[in-house]
Structure 1
Amino acid sequence: MSVHTGYLEYETKGDSHIIDITDDVMGVVDGCGIENGIVAVFATGSTVAVTTLEYEPGLIHDLQHALERIAPRDIEYKHNERWHDGNGHSHVRASLLGQSESFPLIDGNLLLGTWQQIIFIDLDNRPRSRKLVVQVVGD
């Protein structure tokens, strides 16, 4: 069994900024020499998330607005009372979505649906420098 670890870095806008990282993840996979296994994508941070969706403007808008309905930025959060940073909603959203996803790697290809892309979401309330870990495990 082999393990290859790569890193991706992004400058984000915050406020539920959604980035299609599919090609970048495949760039890590393509350079590792592993053909079959699992690809894990992990975003370091408590106000970020990794998931999949069809990366198109309508759905990006819909997801951002759904997150606002689920965990609105303008309600009371105990986190904000303690830290006064105004990003309690960011932490709640990230906890609901999760910071990682795993994907099968078959014959050098990520197993994704036709309209399925891997996305990274910066949910914080300000721009940030963000780092993701892509780990490929297999034969």
Structure 2
Amino acid sequence: MWLQRTLRLRPRPRGFHLVTDEVLAAVPEIRQLRVGIVHIFIRHTSAALTLNENASPDVRRDFASWFDRAVPDGAAYFSHTLEGPDDMPAHIKASLLGSSVSFPVADGEPLLGTWQGIYLCEHRDHGGTRTVVVTVFGE
């Protein structure tokens, strides 16, 4: 099976948002796979995807605190400022995290770790709707 679906994620505020259930609901065909791979790609340069701890909200807050301190909005050394003080930092944060994640599937189940979830990492104050492309392949 090869399947590709485009999913629009609703606008979210700056932060790290679990979207695991939303993504998996968009591709119920995963349940038909004996073995396979799910690949998710975000079509934006100021947001990212990552797989990480899905239980404690402290993890999401700590991620946000670290990234905002490491790459501050409005730093005087940024030249790319036409789209606002959060834009260039968002590009850097997105590059650090990456634009895609992949995970295996076996016997119709995503093989995410017990405490792993798919995060939409929104790095802008008002990033808007985000589009991801979900590709599923397997048998």
TM-score (norm 1): 0.87
1:19 equivalent to 2:56? Answer no
For structure 1, the residue ranges without an aligned partner over 5 or more in a row are none
Please provide the CA RMSD for this pair: 1.7
Please give the residue correspondences for 1:66-85 in structure 2 after superposition, counting only pairs within 5 Å: 66-76=66-76, 77-80=78-81, 83-85=82-84
Number of equivalenced pairs: 135
Distance 2:12 2:24 in 1: 23
- Unpaired runs of 5+ in structure 2? none
String of CA shifts for 1:1-27, please: whole Å, max 9, x gaps. x21112322222342x32211112222
CA distance, structure 1, for counterparts of residue 22 and residue 4 of structure 2? 13
Instruction: Give, in angstroms, the shift of residue 70 of structure 1.
Output: 1.6
Superposition map of 1:104-115 within 5 A: 104-115=104-115
- The aligned runs of 1:1-139 (5 Å cut-off) are 2-15=1-14, 17-31=15-29, 33-55=32-54, 56-76=56-76, 77-80=78-81, 83-86=82-85, 87-139=87-139
Runs of 4+ in 1 over 6 A off after TM superposition: none
Identity of aligned residues (%): 30
Q: TM-score, normalised by structure 2?
A: 0.87
Partner of 1:31: helix, strand, or coil? helix
Shift of the alpha carbon at 1:73?
Answer: 1.1
